[in-house]
Amino acid sequence: MTRGPAGYGRYNDDPRHVGCPRAKSDMTPCIARDGHLALAGDPPADCVGCGQAPGPLLRQLSGVYPPARDRAEGTAAADPETCADLLTELVREATEPARAA
């Protein structure tokens, strides 16, 4: 897997598939690639795959991926579904094969 910001990356054999550094496997549901659909709990608040809340993961990505800073500012306190969907969007952007070094 080619790694990018915060350990997220793309698989060499399937560059459309986003890899998460906390995923137990590439088949594990993950908010980094599945957004709010991978949230668990009642109400849904944490990633079903790793148990992390999307707000802190969004802040972590914003710390190492400058384009995410402005877009994520103030969002980390938003509801988990909004944070999860923004995290998905930013991870996909940050790990685009043309941008990943």
What would the pLDDT profile of 70-99 be if each residue is shown by its tens digit? 888 777 567 999 999 999 999 999 999 875
What would the pLDDT profile of 25-77 be if each residue is shown by its tens digit? 888 899 999 999 999 999 999 999 999 999 999 999 999 999 898 888 777 56
**Residues 6+ positions from 11 with CB-CB distance below 8 Å:** 1, 2, 17, 19, 26
Q: For residue 49, is it within any domain? A: yes
Angle at 54 between CA 51 and CA 58, to 5 degrees: 135
Q: For residue 100, is it within any domain? A: no
User: Into how many domains does the chain fold?
Assistant: 1
Q: For residue 24, is it within any domain? A: yes
Domain containing 29 equals 2-94
Q: For residue 99, is it within any domain? A: no
- pLDDT surpasses 80 at 22: yes
Q: For residue 29, is it within any domain? A: yes
Q: For residue 79, is it within any domain? A: yes
Q: For residue 22, is it within any domain? A: yes
User: Is-contact 33 18, C-beta < 8 A?
Assistant: yes
Query: Would you state the pLDDT for residue 65?
Result: 94
